Amino acid sequence: MPEKGIKKLVLGGCRSGKSRHAEQWASDNFQQKTYVATLSRQGDAEMDRRIDLHRESRGNGWQLVEEPRDIVAVLAPARAQNEVVLLDCLTMWITNLMMAELTDPQIEDEILRLKQTVASANYGIVLVANEVGLGLVPESAMGRRFRDLAGWCNQQMAEVCDQVVMVAAGLPLTLKG
Active-site residue list: 54
- For strands 7-12 and 124-130, give the pairing: parallel
**Is the Cβ–Cβ distance between 13 and 154 less than 8 Å?**
no
**Is the Cβ–Cβ distance between 135 and 92 less than 8 Å?**
no
**Is the Cβ–Cβ distance between 11 and 129 less than 8 Å?**
yes
What is the number of residues in the chain?
177
- DSSP for residue 31: S
Distance, in Å, from the CA atom of 175 to the CA atom of 177, rounded to the nearest integer, reads 7
| 128 three-class SS | strand
φ, ψ of residue 96 in degrees (nearest 5): -60, -40
Distance, in Å, from the CA atom of 98 to the CA atom of 141, rounded to the nearest integer, reads 13
Q: For the chain, give me the number of helices (H) and strands (E)? A: 6, 7
